[in-house]
Structure formats: C-alpha cells, structure tokens
Structure 1
Amino acid sequence: MATPLALFSLTLAASALAQDSAPEISLDTLRTVTETLSSDAYEGRAPTTPGEELTVSLIAERFEQAGLQPGNDGGWYQDVPLVEITADPDTAAFGYTAGDATTALSYGDEAVFWTKRIVPSVDVENAELVFVGYGINAPERGWNDYEGIDMTGRIAVILVNDPDFAEGGDEGLFDGRAMTYYGRWTYKYEEAARQGAAGAIIVHDTAPAAYGWSVVESSWTGPQLDMDAADNHMDRVPIEGWVTNDVAHGMLAAAGQDLDVLSDAARQPGFTAVPLGITASAHLDNAIRRQASRNVIGVLPGSARPDEYVIYTAHWDHLGRCTPDETGDDICNGALDNATGTAGLIALAEAHAAAGPAERSLIFLAVTAEESGLLGSAYYAANPVFPAAQTVGGVNMDGLNIIGPSRNVVVVGYGKSELEAYLDRAAASQGRRVEPEPSPERGSFFRSDHFSLARVGVPMLYADSGEDLVEGGAEAGRAAVEDYIAAHYHAPSDEYDPDWDWSGAVLDLGLYYAIGRELADSEDWPNWNPDAEFRAARDASRAEAGDE
C-alpha cells in the first residue's frame, strides 16, 4: 500500500498532467504576503485604521506587479462609506427587573450589546422582555414566531440558529441541521426591527452558534462598523446584543419560566411568543466616526469578450485590536482569517496574468469589512463596478488550507449552483472527491463574501479542502479544524507560523485557477440550481441583459 506522502505525490503528478498549461501557484507569494499582512505592524487590519492603509497599498502594489490593471475607472480602490460606533464600556448598562429585584449584567462577561443607530446615546427603559423562540417570520414555510404579538416597546429574547438544529439530519422544515439564513444573527436583528421591537437579545449557546462566548466578546466589543446611512439607521432596534446561556437561564427563571422548556416548545410548529412579565433597561454612550474604507479591485481584461466577467473574491480585513489574551496580546492578527485568502487572491492574479488574457475578463476583488457583516462585498454588490448581469460567476476564498493536502474538497452550500460541475472536473484531475461541507449547521454559507454576490444573482462557489487529510485522515483533519475554532478563531493567537504546510492550499488554488480559466475561456453562463433561493435574481438579471 502506498504511503500517505506517496499518495500525495501521485495526486500532484496527476494534477500536473491534467493542468500542464496552468502556471505555478507561487508558494513564496503565499508565505510572504500572509506573513506581512498578519504581522503586528498591520495591527490586525481593521478597516479605517493605519492597518488598512498598509493593507490596501500592499494589495494594489502586488496586483500591479502581477500585471493587472486598476479595476475601478483607472484606480485600484472602491470607496466604501462606513460609520464606526464605539460604545463606552464604562457607562454601558443592561439589567432586568423582576418584582423589586434588579439584576445588572456585566458588560463583556455576561452581556454584549450595542446599537446600529448612529446616535450619541441610547436609552431603553423598563421594556418588557418577550421570549420569541427563534425570532423567525417565514411565511413560505408556514412559520411565524411573532404571530399575534405586538413587539412595540418590547425586547425580543431570541434563540440562536433555527428550529431544526437540535433534530440533526438532512431534512426538515428548516433544512435539517444545515443552517438557513433564518438562523443567522443578522437576520434575527433585522426581523426584530421589522416587528418594531425596542431591542433584540440573542441567547448564546456554543454548539448552535458555532463559536464560544469569547468570540462574541472579541467580535462585538470595541469599535463596530456598519454602512453609513442618511437616515442614521433609525429603522434598526435601539439595542442589539447577546447574553450568555447562564444569564438567560437566570433571567427566565426570574420570570417563572424555564429556558429549556421554552426552547423545546420553540422548535415545534405553532409556537407562540411568551411575554415574560419582567422588564429590562439599557443605556449606551457612543463615539461616532464616519470614514470610508476601501475595496481593492484589479482586472485582467479579456481578449475576446472583455465585457463579460469572472470574479475572485477574498476579504482583507480582520478585527484589529481585540480582547487581550493572558499574555496581554491585544492584536487579532487574522493570519489564517483571512491573510491566507488575500495571499491566495494575489497568487491567482499572478498565475492568470502569467498565462495571458482569457477570452473573458478576470476580476480580483479584495473586500473590506467582512468581519463587520460582509459590508465591503455588500457595498460592491449594491454598487457593482462590473454589472452583476455580466458577471458569469466566481470563487470566494476565506481561509486557505495550512494543515496539509486532503483527499476531498467540500462545498459550502452544496447543491446550490451549476458551478459545482466545474469543481467536479477540476477535482477529478487531482484525484479528489467533492462532498458537502461536514458542518452545515455553522451557517458558513451566510458568513462570507460570496453571499453578498449570490443575493444579487451572481453564481458563486465557496469550496475548501476537506478534513480527510492525506496524512492522518479525517480524524486528524477534524481535530485541526476544531482546535482552530476553539483556540484561535477571532483570537490573538491566529498568527503566522513558518512551519505551516502549504501543499493543500496550493492544490486548492489549482482548482480555483482551473475553474476560473474554464469559465473565462468558455461561452457558458452557469446558473443557480432551480430550487436555490438566488435563482430568481439571476434569471431576472440575465433577462434584463437580453439573455434568452
């Protein structure tokens, strides 16, 4: 039997034979760009900081060196208008009152809360708490957690994820264990606002959230970015936030309720919201700063159909300075997330430019503020430099494989688009199999920048190395993924390691190169599959473009 390393050598050989026209993916680019972007000098690459200036300048410089042209009317940048709101932790207050007893919650340790309203201060006083289950209003699925309840002046207490999570399996009203958009925290706050609530508080639970409380604390304290708005986002609820599971148990117990019992009830069709008969009050003082961030755009113009586009995306930003670890390190460097993806974007630009123009134009888009809610890609989708109707499709990269080659490739959002056929062909050339993601309950499809483009109809592929490693198998791959999520995700310890194994990343980038090149040299217009939620948007945009 061949050894794991021998199997990898055979895989590389097969890949080389199948893609002998593909330029080499530069290992030096992957290493040096990742190491530079994740160095302390870049201070965690938070948008609108000096770290941004260093980051976008480096990306534009590397794009130019690769042979790309500036992608936005002769310039490398697309301005993204953002507003930064920073809650004062010393005056932030949230507490609930049951009878004569008021319980104040510790900001950061027990509750994290903020406002999206662009105002210097927010007060919510004596607002009744209402348990609204999963906070979902989905008429197409016959489900409305807000049925019959007036949320005006009330605060919604909401469970994370969606009703099928605890059941497991692959089928159900909310697609089994695969998280739907209704399970995302972004949706829950949006729906609470549509219901007229005075606040929306999500109950944290590690498994359905897919991350621990430390991620909540590091991600939602300190400066918070959002898209700037002429109406100052006054359509949002005054207070948004999270509480720990222990706090939620205590809060509901003070109301004479049991969180576990209500959670079980919330998973059943026909659940109705439960007014808790206790109130909560909150106060925030905010510092407000308006400043544009930037997407970086490079283009390799097409030789035959330059007004048709294939796009690669990756986000360049991370959290900047965050909650210090036990050593006092307060820089969330974001080496894996997503300095590696940005380095991969540059490496692909180099490879495509070295191969010469394809028939269609190739777009390389490094977006800002992904960590703040996909803001850079959402702005691009709403204000596209290259029309969505003329964008054939694309590939998104959010963290490359630095743990060694895998026998499989996983698709996040498996079964949604016709781009998977292109991946199948490319993976077969490497002797690898294509599979659904192993943990769809994490909602990864809604957590990276391909989602912004998908929402306007552009078919996007988000694929990655699977966990079945050539050396160590699925057990080793799963252990590495779980260790990263538990110990390094959105933490200061996500730092560059010179001992990383880049061979898996090189293989994956070979796939992305092959898919992009095939699309760019073809006349194909792949679509979302008929049952995908983005199919209607694609059909409409292509119809407007005159496609029959």
Structure 2
Amino acid sequence: MNGQGALGAAKRLCALALAFALAACASTTTTGIRIKERDFQALERAMASHIDVLASEEFAGRRPGTDGERKTLDYMRGEMERAGLVSGTNDPAHPWFAPVKLASVTGGSSEIEFVKGRRKVKLDPAQAAAFTDRRRGLLEGGELLFVGFEGERVPDDMIRGRVVVMLSEPGISPGRRAQLRRAEPAAVLTVVGDAATIAELRDSRSRERLVLEEDGPDGLDLFVTDEAMSAALGEKAWLALLEEAVEGQAGEGFTPRVLDQRINIDARSNRREVPSHNFIARLPGTDSSAGAILLLAHWDHFGTCGPEDAADRLCNGAVDNASGIALMMELAKRLKRGKPLVRDVYVLGTTAEEWGLLGARAFAEEPPIPLESFVAAFNFDTVAIGPRGSPVGFIGQGMTPLDPFVLQAIADAKREVAPSELTEPFLQRQDGWALLQRDVPAILLSNAFGDAARFEAFLEGDYHQASDEPGEIELGGSVDDLLLHELLIRRLADPKVYP
C-alpha cells in the first residue's frame, strides 16, 4: 500500500479509532442474517447455475478480447438488469461496459552490449535476454547501478534513470523487481544462475501476455547469467561485487555501487491491441451523496491454455472465478430485494485480473465516481473451496478502518477468522490490492482460506488447469460468505453506523 505519508497515516489511525467505537455501539442492536434451510440451498443452486453457464464450453474460458468476453458481459448485464440494477459506468456512450484498452505481447528478440571506453562486449543470446512490453525498447549508454540483494532500502533518486543490477533470489526476486521498478529505473537487470534459466524465460515470454495499452514508461527487463556478467565486467571485478553483496546480506552493510561500464539494450516484441471491458452496475441507494460501497470480482480467465497435446485444452475457470462472479451477482440481488440502502452499491466485474490486476488498475485510474467516494470495497475471488461453517480468511486485515465491523460481523455470523499465515501471501495477488494502493478500503473475506488442506489441494490441482470446470463444486462456504457480506454491507451502507 503506497499511503500518503505521515498525514495519511494519522488520518487512517483516527478513522480506525472512530470505527472501533462505532462498531461497539452497532453490535448491540444487530445480529447475523437468518435464513431458512431451503433458501440456503436455493442460493447454492443459483450459484451453481451461474457457474455452469459462465464456465461452459460456449463461453470458451472467458479470455479478454474474445467472443467469450462478449457472452460473459451480456450474461452479467442480463442478470443485473433483470434484478433491477442500472448501469454504473456513468458514461452514456458506454452503458454497463467500461472500455479497457489492453495490448497482447508475444515473442521478441534482443541484443545486449556492455561498453567501457572502446571495449565492447556483446552478450551471447543464450546467456542473456531483454524483454519489453512495447514494440521496441531501446537504451544506449545506460548507467549501471549494482544493488546486490537490496531493494526498498535503495534511495529512489539513486535508482531513477539507471539500469539497476540485482542478484536473483528464489521467491523474492519478483517482489524486489517490482519495488525497484516503482523508482523508475531505465531498466532492471537480474543476474540468474545459468543458461537454462534464460531458456525458460524466453519460452515463458514467447506465450501471449496482456498488458494495459497505456501503462507508463517502457519497462525493460533484462536477465543475464552469472557467467556473462563475469565476462562483461571482468572476473575479478565481478567476484568483488558478489563478495560485497553477500557481506551486505549478512548484515555487514552494503552500499549500492555505480559501475564504470555502460550498457546498450535493444529489445523488440510483437504487439497488438486487445479491446476489453470492465462490467459496472449500480444499485442506487436513497442518498448517493453519502458515498458508495464497491463489490468486485474478476470475470476473466485464460481461454485455451492447456498443453498442446492434451485432450482438453480449455481452461473453463469454474472456481477461478465464475464462482466469485456468481456470489457477487446473487449478493447484489439480495441487497436489491431487501430494505433500501442509504449508500449506492457498485458491482464491478474486472477484466484481465489473471495478467496482473489490469482491469482493477484501469478502474482505479478512471472510476465512475471519485475513488474517495468508496467507503468500502469487497473482492470475491475463487470462493468455491470450503464447506459450510468454514473459518473466514481476512485479506487486508489491519490496513483499513473496516476491521472492527468485519470482526463483529464474523462473530455475529458465528464464524471464526482463519490464521493470517494463509492469507498474507495473497494480499498483492487479488484485485483489491489495486484499490488499496489508492487508499480505497478494500478487503477480501473468503472461506477459501478456512481450510489449508482444501485450499492447497486446489492450488496444486485444478488451479489454472483445464480441470477447473463445472461439476461437483462445494458451495456451502460460498453461501456462508454471501450472507456474511450481506450482513456487513447493510451495516456499512448506513452513514449513521459507518460515517
């Protein structure tokens, strides 16, 4: 979460203190949502029906920019319009569907050259690769900054405009690259172990990926083997840098070093436009000036993504994330059928979550109302995992003023909070993160994290595979989640309870 400095932190602390006091008052007069068994089962059947449609062969895996997208958006509009919701785009030219400009990037080639005076060392393509999401990324005479194993502790002004050279660490490098990228370097160069890693990276980048069409300055990513770095800088100089980095990692102090070499980079890719859309509906409240609550779930999946020799290559995306869309739509219907809410409720179906929260990021850039108008946001992702009565995973706990209301609602629903160890790794891997970074109070509450064994079995089995398809899907925990959110949203939609 990027925050807004000391003033923003102080405001959040004050809001959190006020929220705890108000929640204590509200809890004396509200209890959990009561529902008859037949109505509970009816919700399970309704969600299963949505999943059967959205994850059907006809919808072809819901890949952005395809006929599957059009069918998905039309289905969601039909469901929400019949329920009495209206378009939430606030754009008469684009009702219901807010355009999101994506680009498809595949393949490419690159040349990397180190320069010191008149000496030039051109790296072997088997030992080095550069990638860009643009058609061409070109850098001449880039200044090199060696940061070793460092990331966020390196001053931004030292990174900005330079080619940052970092050493790879399994499981840590992606996050460190993202940290460095935020300081706007000319490129990030990651030193990897061997040529096999370069080959794997080239193979991965040869497959289509989606990016936002207008996604800031060109981000050059370089990967160079240890052997190639030694050849380019000289074995003695490179070993000295490695020794400094290791000593720094051991706590003996490390100072980033500007190298006496320069680097030339020429990276190319194949790129085409992919028009896509976010789905936005609105349940009007009695006072639109009182702020709004946001429900969101990503509608997209991968389309055809199985191995070329597989009998079934279609990744239907039943649990991930037809189940989240199903829960969100049925929740919106219950909110519409019940007592009118004071605040508006927006229903957002995001595109291209699977490629880096792209739809959520686009929404945050161009929201239908000012972002500060959203007093709370609830994300629904991969919800059909746990059975009825499962504990609740709470992603975003401790990061918004919503905590006391959430914890009280969980207690009133007679459920428990799942261990944070299960949820912490997923904070930045779900759409709510794109909103949290813009100071929108966004959280994810889900049964999926209530049973570590079940969740891990899904991740190791059907997750992002052709086997994630309709059938015998557990929905008891999903209905529990729906009712929990209904209870919580009815409280938060009242400015007298949650200013």
Answer yes or no: same fold by TM over 0.5.
yes
Inter-CA distance 426–35: structure 2 relative to 1 (3 Å threshold): same
Match of 2:70? Answer: 53
Pairing 1:176-325 to 2, within 5 Å after superposition = 183=175, 185-191=177-183, 194-195=184-185, 197-201=186-190, 221-229=206-214, 233=216, 235-237=217-219, 239-240=220-221, 257=239, 262=245, 265-266=248-249, 268=251, 270-273=253-256, 284-305=267-288, 307-322=290-305, 324=307
Where do 5+ consecutive residues of structure 2 fail to align?
Answer: 1-30
SS across alignment from 2:210: strand
CA distance in 1, matches of 2:77, 2:335: 16
CA contact (8 A) 2:376 2:441 kept: yes
Aligned with residue 381 of structure 1, among 338, 356, 364: 364
Aligned with residue 447 of structure 1, among 412, 426, 429: 429
SS across alignment from 1:188: helix
Shift of the alpha carbon at 1:156? 2.9
Match of 1:433? Answer: 416
Match of 2:11? Answer: none
CA distance in 2, matches of 1:32, 1:460: 28
Match of 1:26? Answer: 43
Inter-CA distance 466–36: structure 2 relative to 1 (3 Å threshold): closer
| Amino acid in the other structure paired with 2:457 | D
Shift of the alpha carbon at 1:364? 0.9
Inter-CA distance 307–291: structure 2 relative to 1 (3 Å threshold): farther
Pairing 1:269-418 to 2, within 5 Å after superposition = 270-273=253-256, 284-305=267-288, 307-322=290-305, 324=307, 327=310, 329-405=312-388, 407-418=390-401
Deviations 1:326-356 (A, max 9, x none): 6265444333222211111111112212225
| Amino acid in the other structure paired with 2:98 | D
Inter-CA distance 521–198: structure 2 relative to 1 (3 Å threshold): closer
CA distance in 2, matches of 1:135, 1:94: 26
CA contact (8 A) 2:303 2:314 kept: yes
Aligned with residue 84 of structure 1, among 94, 103, 111: 103
Match of 2:453? Answer: 479
Match of 1:458? Answer: 440
| Amino acid in the other structure paired with 2:211 | D
CA contact (8 A) 2:397 2:443 kept: no
Where do 5+ consecutive residues of structure 1 fail to align?
Answer: 1-16, 138-142, 166-178, 205-211, 469-476, 527-548
Inter-CA distance 461–76: structure 2 relative to 1 (3 Å threshold): same
| Amino acid in the other structure paired with 1:512 | H
CA distance in 1, matches of 2:301, 2:439: 27
CA distance in 2, matches of 1:252, 1:464: 46
Shift of the alpha carbon at 1:300? 1.4
Aligned with residue 125 of structure 2, among 87, 104, 111: 104
CA contact (8 A) 1:160 1:202 kept: no
Inter-CA distance 100–298: structure 2 relative to 1 (3 Å threshold): closer
| Amino acid in the other structure paired with 1:503 | G
Shift of the alpha carbon at 1:296? 0.9
CA distance in 1, matches of 2:54, 2:97: 20
Match of 2:165? Answer: 156
CA contact (8 A) 1:95 1:280 kept: yes
Number of aligned residue pairs: give it: 452
CA contact (8 A) 1:129 1:276 kept: yes
CA contact (8 A) 2:154 2:256 kept: no
CA contact (8 A) 1:94 1:283 kept: yes
CA contact (8 A) 1:96 1:104 kept: no
Match of 2:151? Answer: 136
Match of 1:543? Answer: none
Inter-CA distance 359–441: structure 2 relative to 1 (3 Å threshold): closer
Inter-CA distance 149–226: structure 2 relative to 1 (3 Å threshold): closer
Moved more, 96-105 or 513-522: 96-105
CA distance in 2, matches of 1:263, 1:53: 52
Shift of the alpha carbon at 1:395? 1.0
Aligned with residue 43 of structure 1, among 57, 60, 70: 60
Task: Give the aligned CA root-mean-square deviation in angstroms.
Answer: 4.2
Whose Rg is larger? Answer: 2
CA distance in 2, matches of 1:150, 1:387: 31
1:121 aligns with 2:136: yes
SS across alignment from 2:294: strand
SS across alignment from 2:89: coil
CA contact (8 A) 2:146 2:256 kept: yes
TM (norm. structure 2) is 0.75
CA contact (8 A) 1:190 1:236 kept: no
More helix by share: 2
Inter-CA distance 49–188: structure 2 relative to 1 (3 Å threshold): farther
Shift of the alpha carbon at 1:424? 1.4
TM (norm. structure 1) is 0.69
Shift of the alpha carbon at 1:402? 2.1
CA contact (8 A) 1:96 1:278 kept: no
| Amino acid in the other structure paired with 2:316 | N
Deviations 1:424-462 (A, max 9, x none): 1221123222255214662x2222222222233321222
CA contact (8 A) 1:136 1:145 kept: no
Shift of the alpha carbon at 1:63? 1.1
CA distance in 1, matches of 2:113, 2:422: 35
